[in-house]
Structure 1
Amino acid sequence: MITYKKTLLAAFCMLLLTACKDENSTENKSEDLTAYLKDTTSGIKTGGVQVVQINTPKGKFNVWTKRIGNNPKIKLLLLNGGPGATHEYFECIESFLPAEGIEFIYYDQLGCGNSDNPNDPSLWDLPRFVEEVEQVRQALKLDKDNFYLLGHSWGGILASQYALKYQQNMKGLIISNMMMSAIEYDKYADEVLAKQMDPKVLAKIREIEKNKDFENPQYMELLVPNFYSKHILRLDASKWPEPVNRSFAKINQSLYVTMQGPSEFGLSGKLEKWDITKELPKITVPTLSIGAKYDTMDPEHMKWIATQVRNGTYLYCENGSHMSMYDDQQTYMTGLIKFLKETSK
């Protein structure tokens, strides 16, 4: 009987201890959430929006940023692709990163979205964009103890080029869906992607490009089902997520054509000869390279990047394409979160 009572008492104590732990856990989560959502800015609250004034060779302009969350150890600045798209296609991140307590910052580069558009092609220049990112970093008070930079597509070019010059100010780098050589990208587009297309369709696309008839509506009519829905975002275009459509609808064509060129097969603008493959070993900060099976970028090249930087990790999205944050979402977000948390310790 005494043994039975002792057993009951032990069980009761265990239940009480478990309940206390659960209560403490709930309280800790509540405290974490309160800290994450706390707006630490002074003055009038703007929902995290901060307009940053930047200096350029053509004068001062304003660029738009918006902070989501508050985490002193992880502050992730997002660089959109295009070139010339907007931050908006990154909105899918809101379904994942806040739940993990990760702070991230939307940012429209000059000429994009909510930022000033000076309509001056001389400002569409990679070194100038690098200096712009540095000015934004300083204004947002990001530093080597918390500053992560994620660049997707063209943003990956900008992020990697920034790291080569300013990595002393960084905690980590994410190169998402972007090869480190325009020359290798052109080669992959020509020798791999083009050959996967229906020869008749490809011939018509090549004819339009040869004639520089890029305003021909047939160009996009051919590209959307035969290229975009297979290598940009693997969904029927009618089912593309609204944030993607909203972002792409606002693309700055002047910026896009100046940097990328008018063709979808490779680069022919200012970035045509861009190549930093031999400089990758200079990047010493923790670096995550993200590639996808159906991407416009060679996934083997993306894997190779992780072996060339000093401290690299590779994330492979087996079901993804260029917008793998949408068409292989769980893989992309899980891998991104894992990288951010492990390197922030």
Structure 2
Amino acid sequence: MNIPSVIRNLRALLIPFLFILASSVAHGQEKDSIYSKKQLEPGVKKILIDGKFWVWTQKIGDGKINVLLLHGGPGQSHEYFEIFSKYLPKTGITIYYYDQFGSYFSQQPTQQQLADTSIWKVSRYVDEIEQVRKGLKLEKFFIYGHSYGALLALAYSYKYQDHVKGMIFSDMNPFPKDFDQRMSFISKQTDSLLSVTKQFNGLMQNKKQGLAYDQKLYQTAFDSVFTRNFVLRLDTLPDALLRTKAHKNYEVAQKIGPSTFSLNYGAMIPKINVPVLLIRGEYDFIISTEQIKNLNKLFPRAEYYIVPNAGHVCFVDNPTGYFPALIDFIKRNN
């Protein structure tokens, strides 16, 4: 099967936000006024990692329950999590934004660091999270990961679970084979949606029959339909998502990508004894309901929740369907 370019090698690079894919920004990202403003906001703390570089964090709220948020990408910023500040702090839950090394609001890598393969590994980022925990003085906390960030949360919870009250694993698939199967299925689903769209019916008939067709038009149409149905089901992007798109560091994403599935997550899962909440959007392209049910059985203490009418960025698609379940899990397991 010839999977379109937006999906091809997605597991290797793990860049799930298709509307962000086109934002190929090099390590020397130009900083805008948003960057300057964020550095000066209340609750911001820069934490030195390995004595070599710093990462940006921000505390929101003053509740006694603490949640550290791990963004996806790789190479994203925390900005698409800003909606969390509207729901969690008012319930007594303090959230911590954190841009991983190389992400927009944290220190950017030098050319020498970009060439250092030891930096761009999931295992190193797991240890970076532990240094962030110490820097924030979080003895016990909930760790939340979305997409690629969920893999970081899983690996961290396995290695450092004495500090973890609970883990939230949102919209990710830890098994490469299952990941690939889901991607292949969604690619076929996208083609099916295009086939029943009058505008593209002829194009899809030609493609199906092996005849010549406008590949550029097909790719544009595929990207649009795929994103609108399985990534984010909104007609327009909220400001936080637009900024996330503008601030993505694609070069960093390329460096981290090959390490995404370098760890044996399957071996870790049975040894994670803290409470776990597995979440997916109803139309999430990375993990299916059947797959999340099977994953749920592998954790000693897990539960799962499906967010209705939502894609991969389900907390933006359907916040009123997402946050009550998240808050309930955190409160019950505090």
TM-score (norm 1): 0.74
Alpha-carbon distance, 1:331 to partner: 1.5
Q: Which has the larger radius of gyration?
A: 1
The aligned residue for residue 295 of structure 1 is 284
Alpha-carbon distance, 1:223 to partner: 4.4
1:48 aligns with 2:43: yes
* Secondary structure of 2:144's aligned partner: strand
Report the Cα distance in structure 2 between the residues aligned to 1:203 and 1:179, rounded to whole angstroms: 34
The aligned residue for residue 247 of structure 2 is 250
Q: Cα deviation per residue 1:4-56 (whole Å; 9 max; x = unaligned)?
A: xxxxxxxxxxxxxxxxxxxxxxxxxxxxxxxxxxxxxxxxx96111100001x
Report the Cα distance in structure 2 between the residues aligned to 1:184 and 1:323, rounded to whole angstroms: 19
Residue segments in structure 2 that go unaligned for 5+ positions in a row: 1-39, 193-202, 208-214
* Secondary structure of 1:143's aligned partner: coil
Aligned residues: 273
Report the Cα distance in structure 1 between the residues aligned to 2:267 and 2:218, rounded to whole angstroms: 36
| AA of the residue aligned to 1:54 | I
Q: Cα deviation per residue 1:252-287 (whole Å; 9 max; x = unaligned)?
A: 111222333xxxxxxxx3335654224311010111
Q: Contact between 1:183 and 1:272, CA under 8 Å: does it hold in 2? A: no
Report the Cα distance in structure 1 between the residues aligned to 2:206 and 2:97, rounded to whole angstroms: 40
Q: Contact between 1:54 and 1:61, CA under 8 Å: does it hold in 2? A: yes
| AA of the residue aligned to 2:89 | P
Alpha-carbon distance, 1:326 to partner: 1.1
Report the Cα distance in structure 2 between the residues aligned to 1:314 and 1:299, rounded to whole angstroms: 9
Q: Contact between 2:85 and 2:95, CA under 8 Å: does it hold in 1? A: no
Alpha-carbon distance, 1:148 to partner: 0.7
Identify which range, 154-163 or 293-302, moves more after superposition.
293-302
Report the Cα distance in structure 2 between the residues aligned to 1:283 and 1:166, rounded to whole angstroms: 10
Higher RCO structure (Cα 8 Å, ≥6 apart): 2
CA distance change for structure 1 residues 196 and 338 in 2, over 3 Å: closer, same or farther? Answer: same
The aligned residue for residue 232 of structure 1 is 231
TM-score (norm 2): 0.76
Alpha-carbon distance, 1:112 to partner: 0.5
| AA of the residue aligned to 2:48 | Q
| AA of the residue aligned to 2:239 | E
CA distance change for structure 1 residues 115 and 218 in 2, over 3 Å: closer, same or farther? Answer: farther
CA distance change for structure 1 residues 223 and 79 in 2, over 3 Å: closer, same or farther? Answer: farther
Q: Cα deviation per residue 1:71-114 (whole Å; 9 max; x = unaligned)?
A: 22x11000000111110000111221122121000000001021
Alignment of 1:168-247 (within 5 A): 168-190=162-184, 192-198=185-191, 221-236=220-235, 239-247=236-244
The aligned residue for residue 314 of structure 2 is 324
1:64 aligns with 2:56: yes
* Secondary structure of 1:226's aligned partner: helix
Q: Contact between 2:63 and 2:89, CA under 8 Å: does it hold in 1? A: no
Q: Contact between 1:173 and 1:288, CA under 8 Å: does it hold in 2? A: yes
Alignment equivalent of 1:140, drawn from 123, 136, 143? 136
Alpha-carbon distance, 1:302 to partner: 2.1
Alpha-carbon distance, 1:201 to partner: 6.5
Q: Contact between 2:182 and 2:288, CA under 8 Å: does it hold in 1? A: yes
